[in-house]
Each structure stands twice: as C-alpha cells, then as structure tokens.
C-alpha cells in the first residue's frame, strides 16, 4: 500500500505549456480562495544538468543514479515567479506549508475516518520539456494495463488516464488525463487519502475553476502515489 497520496490537476491539452505569469496568478488566487498552504514557504526547482549521486553500500564509492539533480530557483515571493521562470521549460514551483487551510482542497481520511487534525500540505506547479505520463498504476494489484510510470516519457496516442485505486487496485479511467507537459499537484500528509469511488473529480470545484481561468485551458483530475 502506498503511503503518500498526491492529487493532480492536469492540462487536458497534452502539449500545453503556460507562460510564467499565469503560474503566479494561480498561486495568488489560491491564497484568495483560502486554499493555499498555511505558514507557506515558496521555492522553485530546475534541472542542474547533473545526475544525483549516492554511496554504494557495498563499495562505499560514490555512484551516479538515473535521477536528475535539481538546482534551486531564487524566489522571495510569488511576485518573482514571472521573471524567474522565463525561458525555462522544466521546473517545479512548490508552496509548502500546513493544512487544513480555511477551504481545504479535499476531505481526507485516515483508516476510513475523516481526518481533522493538521497535516503537511504542498502545492506544486510542474512543467516538463516533453510530454510525460500522468497515469498511475502501483503494481501491488496485478493489472493488464500497460502504461508508463508517472513522470516517464509518454509516446502513446491514447491520452486516456489510467489510475489504479491506491487501496483496492481497481482501475479508473479519465479522458485526456494520461499525458501532459504541465500539471498541478496537491500533496498531503502521509497515510491520508480522499474517499475514492469511480470518479476522480474530488477537488474543491472553485480550485479547478481558478486553474482554468488562470491558465485559459481545461484541466482534468487524477492522482499518483509513492
């Protein structure tokens, strides 16, 4: 069973890549809605061009992994986003803090009981230079569906999102949610999950409306876990 649930709002047009200013507009509007993380800290990340390294426990030698190393993008506030992201085609803008805010994005449960205590809460705006998979199959329950892992290159012409329920393993399909260059993530504390049936339209509706107004495109909902 995965321990970390991340709800996604994915651009329904797979090659959509916003200008930087709408990212700032969306995060500002999220504050106005009362749905932004409390005690928030803002940071930006971009690839450094290097790979992460790790120490091999057998040899004690430093080794390169296949995962990219990220550099920080200087952001003192939301007002800095437009200039900082200019000419970047690969970044994460992250607002980290605490929940629940005044208008929580989702109703969360722990062990099937509504969770009303505080939790970690992050919002990520993510852009990639190429189309990647935004589907999620965790593999703990066998499935015949063959989809790329979340964040991996996506070359399929079928853009249907395929999501495997984090608890039951049931497959949920969402049109136009399987591949994207741009998406938004809402990440909550560990072991917290929304109640999922067969529909992933779980996010507080004004937040989805806010995203669509800020970026001028339709968004669809999904999730991934780790």
Percent over 70 (pLDDT), the chain: 88
Report how far residue 86's alpha carbon sits from residue 144's, in angstroms, rounded to the nearest whole number.
42
Report how far residue 202's alpha carbon sits from residue 205's, in angstroms, rounded to the nearest whole number.
8
* Rounded average pLDDT over 209-221: 98
Q: pLDDT tens digits for 5-31?
A: 999 999 999 999 999 999 999 999 999
Report how far residue 138's alpha carbon sits from residue 124's, in angstroms, rounded to the nearest whole number.
21
Q: What's the chain's length in residues?
A: 226
* Rounded average pLDDT over 30-35: 98
* CA angle 95–180–122, rounded 5-degree value: 15
Max mean pLDDT range (61-65, 138-142, 167-171, 176-180): 176-180
Query: Does residue 10 contact residue 219 with C-beta atoms inside 8 Å?
Result: yes
The residue among 103, 113, 131 whose CA lies nearest residue 36 is: 103
**Given the structure tokens 């703990």, which residue do they identify?**
140
Report how far residue 16's alpha carbon sits from residue 181's, in angstroms, rounded to the nearest whole number.
6
pLDDT tier at 65 (50, 70, 90 boundaries)? low
pLDDT tier at 102 (50, 70, 90 boundaries)? very high
pLDDT at 67: 64
pLDDT tier at 138 (50, 70, 90 boundaries)? confident
Report how far residue 119's alpha carbon sits from residue 60's, in angstroms, rounded to the nearest whole number.
37
Structure tokens at 78: 């939301």
């Amino acid at each position: 069973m995965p321990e970390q649930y991340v709800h996604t709002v994915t651009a329904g047009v797979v090659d959509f890549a916003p200008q930087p200013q709408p990212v700032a507009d969306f995060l500002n509007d999220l504050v106005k809605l009362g749905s932004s993380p409390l005690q928030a800290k803002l940071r930006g990340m971009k690839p450094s061009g290097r790979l992460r390294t790790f120490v091999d426990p057998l040899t004690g030698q430093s080794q390169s992994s296949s995962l990219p190393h990220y550099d920080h993008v200087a952001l003192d506030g939301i007002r800095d986003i437009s200039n900082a992201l200019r000419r970047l085609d690969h970044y994460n803008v992250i607002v980290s803090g605490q929940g629940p805010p005044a208008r929580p994005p989702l109703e969360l449960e722990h062990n099937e009981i509504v969770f009303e205590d505080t939790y970690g809460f992050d919002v990520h705006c993510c852009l990639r230079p190429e189309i990647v998979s935004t589907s999620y199959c965790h593999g703990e329950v066998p499935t015949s569906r063959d989809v790329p892992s979340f964040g991996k290159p996506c070359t399929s012409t079928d853009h249907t999102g395929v999501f495997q329920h984090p608890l039951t393993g049931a497959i949920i399909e969402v049109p136009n949610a399987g591949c994207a260059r741009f998406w938004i993530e809402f990440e909550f504390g560990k072991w917290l999950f929304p109640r999922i049936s067969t529909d992933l339209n779980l996010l507080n509706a004004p937040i989805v409306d806010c995203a669509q107004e800020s970026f001028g495109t339709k968004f669809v909902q999904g999730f991934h876990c780790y």
